[in-house]
Amino acid sequence: MIKKKKDLIKSLATHAKDVGSTEIQIGLLTDKISKLSDHFKKFKKDKHSTLGLTKSVNKRKKLLTYLKKKNVESYQKVIKQLNLRK
């Protein structure tokens, strides 16, 4: 988990000490969303975690919209690297 998170941050970082840019936030949210999706395959009746999934998806959507407005090249790179359909 920690190794994967560090690798994700390294691959999306814009500079050497970058840990909180929009690109990294989108990557971490995508990881969280995929983990929650796998969780719901096992536990279909877990309604409390559904709220967390919905919030994460909406936050990622807002961050993607922001990134598309501010930096189109970076937006395209993130979409391609994370295999998001847009």
Residues of the chain with pLDDT under 70: 1-2, 86
DSSP summary character for residue 46 = -
Spatial CB neighbours of 4, under 8 Å, sequence gap ≥ 6: 31
Question: Residue 84 region, left (φ>0) first, then alpha (ψ -120 to 50), else beta?
Answer: beta
Tell me the per-residue pLDDT of 46-60, one tens digit each, with 9 for 90 and over. Answer: 889 999 999 999 999
CA distances to 7, 33, 39, 48 from 43, rounded to whole Å, are 29, 15, 6, 11
By residue range, what is the domain housing residue 21? 2-82
Query: What CATH number does residue 9 fall under?
Result: 1.10.287.10
Provide the domain count of the chain.
1
Q: Which two tokens stand for residue 62?
A: 């807002």
Q: What integer pLDDT is reported at residue 2 of this predicted model?
A: 60
pTM to 2 decimal places: 0.88
Q: What integer pLDDT is reported at residue 9 of this predicted model?
A: 87
Chain centre distance of CA 75: 12
